[in-house]
């Protein structure tokens, strides 16, 4: 299995603020350490090489006897005090090279002395290739290491090459580089740890501000009474700091939002109360209108056909207005949070009764049942759940042509009961589906007053299902429309169902 880093770690732009600050500090300290260490290293290198060059200048210089170069005995012996490991050769041609590497030994008299050790042919060739210009240069001799070399012409006309080993110098530089690098790494580690700790403590107020914003974002602000009690602590609202300015601005914004939500809730409450009061008051005159219309039709006195038609239309519109008022009153009560009944409701029998009623209202539709072998019991308000199913079936009957097939199914899953109403009608327009459960939602053709729709049936379905802590959804394409209602099962039923059919891992 291949594990990949989250995308936010691929670019520094996606890093948390504290991580970016610590990273910037570490980069700056690294650059500073490299600059200081590199400067010290090159200064030390120049100093050490200067010291080697000074020793190279005094190597073979005249003693008390004078002369540019002075040999104590002959050309086969080094100078007195010659540094062991140094190299001195003289030549007039390639075939008459004298000298070599100085090595220390104890002579026959028991005193320390020095002598020349013959160089390899490769090393000799490398020394012979040094320009005779009196300038110092660094040469890597094969098998001997790095040497500081100078080639000059003696008083006798011979060429003398003097070389001092850079082994100790390079070792010192390497040790200094390692010590400096180690010190820089240790300092970076300590600085990174301390910087992370300091940055975490410094940004702690920002974390508290973010936590407050997160808690506010988790609140339901779209409906009902909302109390924005969350505020940034006073200690994090100091206007002298940037974080304090953010905290103070967030608190001020929450105050404004809270005031706006309170005003919105007050307005919604007034509207709901008005709708409830108006609906309640309209029920009596509507009932009176229907009664007088019906009484007029039952009169023994002959009524002209025109007047009879008018009375029929008055009674019909009064019935429609009564239904609309009842729906509005129900929605107002649900919005006001009126408690619903909590009784066991057998969804299976509820479906059977509702489909029977729908078959009587729409005999030219084909009504089918898809029921489980065992009853599905939920806890809720039976009358309201019956209204949910009746509205869904009325919606299917009203907005599908005669001869359409409507299937009502009941099933259960661990934790919920599922009710589905499926039809093979023309479907719901795609642009209408997101708004299908809104109040007074109508399509251009299928949902019209002529079809008897008030635009409140599905909104009542949505409100009643939500008041039962359930969920309703719709899926529709031409030829297939499915309304799905999910209602929570009682705990005991859910546990029993889970034992019978445990969910797949």
Higher pLDDT, 158 or 495: 158
When pLDDT is averaged across residues 38-43 and rounded to a whole number, the result is 91
* pLDDT classification of 447: cutoffs 50, 70, 90: very low
* Region 343-500: CATH code: 3.30.565.10
Higher pLDDT, 283 or 234: 234
Higher pLDDT, 74 or 490: 490
Write the CB contacts of 358 (distance below 8 Å, at least 6 apart in sequence). Answer: 365, 367, 390, 393, 394, 397, 406
Residues 343-384 pLDDT 10s: 898 989 989 988 998 888 888 999 999 888 888 899 988 888
Position 462 scores a pLDDT of 86
8 Å CB contact between 445 and 456: no
Find residue 370's DSSP bridge partners: 409
Q: Taking Cα atoms as reference points, which of 429, 8, 25 lies closest to residue 200?
A: 25
When pLDDT is averaged across residues 406-427 and rounded to a whole number, the result is 90
Q: Evaluate if residue 144 carries a pLDDT over 80.
A: yes
Residues 378-401 pLDDT 10s: 998 888 888 889 889 988 898 899
Q: Taking Cα atoms as reference points, which of 435, 410, 408 lies closest to residue 487?
A: 410
Structural domain 220-338, CATH architecture: Orthogonal Bundle (1.10)
Q: What is the pTM of this model?
A: 0.48
DSSP-derived 3-state class of residue 155: coil
When pLDDT is averaged across residues 12-33 and rounded to a whole number, the result is 83
Position 70 scores a pLDDT of 44
Average confidence score pLDDT of the chain: 79
When pLDDT is averaged across residues 297-313 and rounded to a whole number, the result is 73
Q: Evaluate if residue 2 carries a pLDDT over 60.
A: no
Q: Evaluate if residue 263 carries a pLDDT over 90.
A: no
Domain ranges of the chain: 7-44+173-202, 59-165, 220-338, 343-500
When pLDDT is averaged across residues 194-218 and rounded to a whole number, the result is 82
For the residues of 424-485, what is the DSSP string, one character each? -SS---TTTGGGTTSTT---SSSS-GGGT--S-HHHHHHHHHHHTT-EEEEEEETTEEEEEE
Position 393 scores a pLDDT of 92
- Cα–Cα distance measured from residue 47 to residue 172, given in angstroms and rounded to the nearest whole number: 12
Spell 341-354 as b/e; 16+ CB within 10 A means b: eeeebebbebbeeb
Provide the edge-to-edge strand list for the sheet that holds 480-488. 366-370, 405-413, 416-423, 480-488, 471-477
* pLDDT classification of 72: cutoffs 50, 70, 90: very low
Q: Evaluate if residue 417 carries a pLDDT over 80.
A: yes
Position 44 scores a pLDDT of 92
Q: Evaluate if residue 60 carries a pLDDT over 70.
A: no
Write the CB contacts of 180 (distance below 8 Å, at least 6 apart in sequence). Answer: 37, 40, 41
Q: Taking Cα atoms as reference points, which of 336, 334, 338 lies closest to residue 387?
A: 334
Cα three-residue angle 202-208-214, rounded to 5 degrees: 140
The span from the first CA to the last CA of the chain, in angstroms, equals 20
Q: Evaluate if residue 484 carries a pLDDT over 80.
A: yes
* pLDDT classification of 280: cutoffs 50, 70, 90: low
* pLDDT classification of 68: cutoffs 50, 70, 90: very low
């Amino acid at each position: 299995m291949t594990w990949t880093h989250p995308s936010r770690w691929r670019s520094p732009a996606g890093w948390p603020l504290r991580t970016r600050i610590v990273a910037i500090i570490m980069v700056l300290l690294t650059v500073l350490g490299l600059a200081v260490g590199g400067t010290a290293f090159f200064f030390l290198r120049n100093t050490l090489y200067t010291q080697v060059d000074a020793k190279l200048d005094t190597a073979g210089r005249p003693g008390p006897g004078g002369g540019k170069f002075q040999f104590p005995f002959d050309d086969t012996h080094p100078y007195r005090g010659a540094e062991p490991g140094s190299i001195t050769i003289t030549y007039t041609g390639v075939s008459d090279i004298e000298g070599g590497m100085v090595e220390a030994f104890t002579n026959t008299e028991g005193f320390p002395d020095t002598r020349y050790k013959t160089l390899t042919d490769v090393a000799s060739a490398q020394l012979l290739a040094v320009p005779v210009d009196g300038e110092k240069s660094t040469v890597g001799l094969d098998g001997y290491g790095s040497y500081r070399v100078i080639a000059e012409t003696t008083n006798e006309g011979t060429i003398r090459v003097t070389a001092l080993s850079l082994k100790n110098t390079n070792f010192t530089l390497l040790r200094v580089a390692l010590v400096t690098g180690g010190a820089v790494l240790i300092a970076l580690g300590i600085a990174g740890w301390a910087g992370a700790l300091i940055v975490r403590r410094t940004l702690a107020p920002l974390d508290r501000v973010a936590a407050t914003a997160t808690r506010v974002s988790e609140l339901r602000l779209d409906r009902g009474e909302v109390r924005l009690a969350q505020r940034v602590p006073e200690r994090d609202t100091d206007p002298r700091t940037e974080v304090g300015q953010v905290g103070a601005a967030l608190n001020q914004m929450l105050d404004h939002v809270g005031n706006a939500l309170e005003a919105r809730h007050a307005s919604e409450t007034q509207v709901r109360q008005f709708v409830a009061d108006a609906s309640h008051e309209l029920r009596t005159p509507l009932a009176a209108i229907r009664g007088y219309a019906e009484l007029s039709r039952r009169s023994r006195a002959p009524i002209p056909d025109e007047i009879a038609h008018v009375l029929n239309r008055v009674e019909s519109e009064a019935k429609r207005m009564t239904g609309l008022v009842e729906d509005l009153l129900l929605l107002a009560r649900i919005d006001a949070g009126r408690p619903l009944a909590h009784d066991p409701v057998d969804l299976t029998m509820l479906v059977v009764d509702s489909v029977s009623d729908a078959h009587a209202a729409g005999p030219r539709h084909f009504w089918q049942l898809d029921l489980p072998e065992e009853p599905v019991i939920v806890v809720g308000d039976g009358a309201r759940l019956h209204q949910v199913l009746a509205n869904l079936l009325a919606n299917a009957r009203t907005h599908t042509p005669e001869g359409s097939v409507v299937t009502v199914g009941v099933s259960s899953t661990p934790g919920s009961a599922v009710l589905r109403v499926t039809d093979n009608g023309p479907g719901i327009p795609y642009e209408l589906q997101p708004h299908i459960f809104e109040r007074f939602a109508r399509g251009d053709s299928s949902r019209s007053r002529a079809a008897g729709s008030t635009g409140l049936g599905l909104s009542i379905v949505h409100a009643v299902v939500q008041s039962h802590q359930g969920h309703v959804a719709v899926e529709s394409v031409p030829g297939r429309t499915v309304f799905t209602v999910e209602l929570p099962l009682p705990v005991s039923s859910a546990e029993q169902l889970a034992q019978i059919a445990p969910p797949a891992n």
